[in-house]
């Protein structure tokens, strides 16, 4: 997996200890209403596209960049779907431990052909909502919230 340079610099002194990081994810739809998924190289599971913003990078810009880098699909961010602190830390194969605050965007594809465009995916493709592959609950939840026009979903005190 491609680790951003600023994370490598932190890891040089922090080692493998838990880092709490921002994350972005993108539920990208094409004109036919299909969703873009990638089969992750690190765990072999199908998922929406996501990553870590660079320092100073706006979250929507990061989501659009990650989609293009990983799949060669160009898209625009349309709205924030969900904001969620993930409950469980992730331990990567190299021993690094991270926990993410995810901001998920609904995006619309504007061009490009879906293909594996870096080393983070084994496969990429468009899937009809009624023919999705097996996925983690993380992905299912985000797709579900992105299909409607409801308000941004979040957990927290005072939520109605």
Segment 58-77, tens digit of pLDDT: 999 999 999 999 999 999 99
How are beta strands 74-85 and 153-154 bridged, if at all? parallel
In the chain, the domains with their CATH numbers are 5-147 (3.90.79.10)
pLDDT at 42: 85
Whether the per-residue pLDDT at 160 is higher than 60: the answer is no
Cα–Cα dist 28/65, whole Å: 12
pLDDT at 1: 55
> Tens digits of per-residue pLDDT, 75-122?
999 999 999 999 999 998 899 999 999 999 999 999 999 999 999 999
Residue 131 Cα to chain centre, angstroms: 20
Q: Are 23 and 101 in contact (CB under 8 A)?
A: yes
* Predicted TM-score (pTM) of this structure: 0.92
Q: What's the first-to-final CA gap in the chain, in angstroms?
A: 38
């Amino acid at each position: 997996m491609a680790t951003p340079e600023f994370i490598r610099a932190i890891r040089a002194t922090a080692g493998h200890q838990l880092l709490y990081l921002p994350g972005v994810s993108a539920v990208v739809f094409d004109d036919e209403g299909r969703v873009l998924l990638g089969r992750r190289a690190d765990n072999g599971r199908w998922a929406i596209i996501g990553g870590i913003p660079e320092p100073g990078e706006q979250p929507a810009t990061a989501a659009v960049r990650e989609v293009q880098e990983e799949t060669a699909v160009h898209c625009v961010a349309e709205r924030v779907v969900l904001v969620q602190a993930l409950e469980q830390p992730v331990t990567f194969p190299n021993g690094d431990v991270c926990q993410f605050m995810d901001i998920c965007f609904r995006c619309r594809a504007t061009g490009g052909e879906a293909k594996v465009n870096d080393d983070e995916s084994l496969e990429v493709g468009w899937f009809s909502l009624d023919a999705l592959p097996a996925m983690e609950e993380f992905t299912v939840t985000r797709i579900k919230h992105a299909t409607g026009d409801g308000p941004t979903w979040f957990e927290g005190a005072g939520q109605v």
